[in-house]
Structure 1
C-alpha cells in the first residue's frame, strides 16, 4: 500500500500555514493546539500499523490452502457456524446437515485442542502439527468425524490402550458435545480413502506422521443419549435400531401353523434377533418389554411356547457393557390374520423409550392355504453320526411349489448350521397343486440335545438327540 496520499495532505497544510506563519507564531494557544494534534496523529498512525500487523499474523495462522474435503460442498474453511452443507450418504440420496466445527477432543486421561485442515483431491492426507496436544479435524466430516492425532509415543500408547466401553468426547464451537464409544482399532494404508467415509455416525482417529505407508486408525461408535431417542425410531428386517444404549437387529422371522401343541385357530410367529449393549453399564433385560402389533393395532404379548420354538433362547438376566447376544421372542396370533406387515416394538419400561421394527408378514390365510408341511420321522443313526428326518409337503394352493436346498436347514441354538449328507428325492422338489411329496433327509448329527429343522421357513423343534 502506498503512503503517498497520507503525506500529500500535510504538504498542502504546510503551504497554507506558511502564508500565516507570523500570525501563528505570535499566538501561543494555536501553538499548543497544534502540538496536541500532532501527537494525536502520530498515536493514530502507530496504532494502525500495530493492528494491521496483528491482523496479518492472525490471518496467516488460520488460513487453509487447497480444496475442500471431497464430501463437503463449501470452499475454504471460513464457513460460518450454522451454515448448511449437503453430504452424500448412500450414493442415491443426500442428507442436509449443519457444519459445527469441533474445538476439543477428549480421550481417557487426555484432551486435545482441535485445528481444521483439508485433504487433497487425490485422497491423501498428511497434515503436520508441531503441538502434540493438538488434533487435526478433516474439514467437512460431520457424520463420521475424522481427526488426526500427532504421532508420539504417548499418543500411540493412548490409542493402543483404548478398550471397549472407553468414551471419546468431541466438543464443538457451538457448544454441542458428542459422545462415542470405542469400537475397533485397525492399521490402514495412507492412501485408503475409506477412513473418510461419511455413511455411519461415529468418529475416526488417525495417528499422523507414522513412518511407512500405514497408519494406526481407531473407530468409535456414536452413543445416542436418552434425549435423542424418538418414537419414530423405525427400521426393517436386517437393520439396526438404536434403543438408548442398546442396539437391536431382527435377523429372521418364522411362521408356524402346524404344531400339535398350538391351540386350534391360532399360529405362532417367532422373531430371532440380536441385541448389543453399547453403553458403559449393564442392562437389565427384565426392563425391556417386547410386543407384536398388526396393522389394526392389535397387540400380542410374548408366548413362552412360541419363544421356545425360536432358534435362540429367551433373553434373560443382565447384558454387560459391550456384550452381544442372540435371542428369540415368540407370539401367538390368529391363524387367519390378514396384515401386510407386523410391528415388533421394544420398550424400555424404565424410561419409556421405544424402537420399532417393521416386518413383512407372509403368514396368515395365504400361508396356511398355500402348503401343509409335517415331520413324521426323526431318527438317529446306529453309529450316532447322522440324523434322519422324514416328512411330507402338501400343496394346498393353485400354483406349483418349488423347494430347493436353500429352503431347508438344520441348526442349533448357537447358530451353527449342520451339513446335509443326502436327500430323497434330490433337489429341487416340485409339488403340483393338490399333490403331496414325501421326503427323507440325512444330516450330520448335532452335538447338542436339541436342534431346529426348517422347511420353507416353517420350523420344527427337535429334542432328545443325544
Structure 2
C-alpha cells in the first residue's frame, strides 16, 4: 500500500495547542463557531467549516474522547516510525493543507522524514529495559494466579459458615465537589451549567446542602456532619436529597402534612418550592425513588439500623417559587416582559397552540450584539424543547428582533412557538445570547394550559330512499367534530318523525351511541321502519340537527 491514513488535526481546526486547557478550547470554539456560523457568515464554505468546528469541539471538550484521539495519533505515528512503513503512517490533515489561515497556535503533530529502503528493511531490536519490563509483568501475573489458587484452598471457619469480606461502598470526611468534567445536561454537545442546591428548609429545620456522587445503584453514605444534607449530583428534574439520621430529622419528616411547604435554594439564588409531601417507607436497597420521570423532590433518611428507609416525595410548585427579574448572561441583560397563549388564532397543526414570549435585552458589552444569533427555546415539564416559529413570533407585541444592538443599547422583541395541546405545564423559556455558550437563562412562564374548546359537531345528510322490499327508509350521512373534545351522540338523540307519528329505528351503522374524536369524521347509515311509502314530510333529528325528507 502506498496511501496514508488521513486524520483531522482537531487542534489546528480550533487553532489551539495540543496542550491547551479546556477553558482555552472553549474560548477558541466560541470564536470560531461565531465566525463561521451559517446565519452570520455568507461564505459557501461556512456551513462545512461550522460542522467541522463542532466536530473538533465535541472531541477535544470531552476528556475521554480527547485522550483517545491523542492516543490514537501518537500510537499510530510511533508504530509507523518504528516499523519504517510509510503506508502505516497516519497523515494529519492540517488547516494549512486545506488552504485555510489558522490564527494562533497550531498542532505540532507532523510526519517524520521517510526512510531509505535499507532502513525500512531493518526492524530495530527492543531496548533491554523493555525486555526487563516484560519479564517483570509475567512474574506479577504468575504471583497473582498462585495467590488466587491458594485462597481457594483455605479452610472455612468453624461451624461450616463461609468467611465474607465486607467493604464500605463510599465514605468521606468532607462533602465531595462534583467534577467540572462530568456533564449533566448538554445541548448539541455544548455542556449546560446546572445550578446546584445550597440550602434546604423543611418543617422549620435548615440544612446546608453538599453534592455527592454515590456508587451506581446505591444510596450515599451519610455525612459525618449530622446537620448536612447530601444532594445526588445530576438529579435536576427530581431533586434527590439525603438527610442525616437523627431524632430531629425523623420527627420533622414524619410530621409533614399536605399543607407544608419545602424550600430548596439554589446557588443561583433561585428558590424552588415543593408541596403536597407524601411520607412513605421503602426497602433500604430500593433506589427507584432516584428516577427522573417527574418534576419534584425526594428526601431520604440516610443511615440508622431500621429495616425500612423513611422517604418523602413532594411535588414541584412553580407558582410559589421566586421569579427572577432581569438576568445578565455573557454581557447581555435580559428580562421577560410577558407571555401568553394565543387562543383566537390556531396553528395549522391539529391540537396545538401558539405561545408568545415578549422580552427585553440590553447590550452591556463593548461590542455590537447580533440578535439573530440568539438561542431562544421553549421547554415543557416533560423536557420537550420547541424551536422558534416565524408565524407565532409575528403574533407577539414586538415581533422578531433583528436589528444589531450597539454597546449600551436596549431593544425589545418577541419569540413565538407552537406547542401541542398535550404539552405539560409549566413552560420554561430558555435564553442564550450565543448557541456556543455553556450557560443559559431559564424562566418559568406564568401560563396555564388552556381549557379544551367545546364540542362543535356538524351533521350532514347525504342520501335518503325508501326500500319497499324491507319497508324501511334508509338514511346515510356523516358527523364531523370540529372541536377539541369528544362528541357523543346517544340513541335517544336520533329520531325520525312525521306529523303525529314517530318511527322505530331498526338498524344503525355503526351501532349507537357514537363517539366522534376531535378533528375526525364519522360516516353513518340509519334504517327506520316505515310500513308504507310515506306521503307526508319526514323529519330526521340527530343531536339537535333537523332535516326534512320529502
* TM-score clears 0.5: no
As a proportion of its length, which structure holds more strand? 1
| TM-score, scaled to structure 2 | 0.32
Indicate the structure whose relative CO is greater, using CA pairs within 8 Å and at least 6 residues apart.
Answer: 1
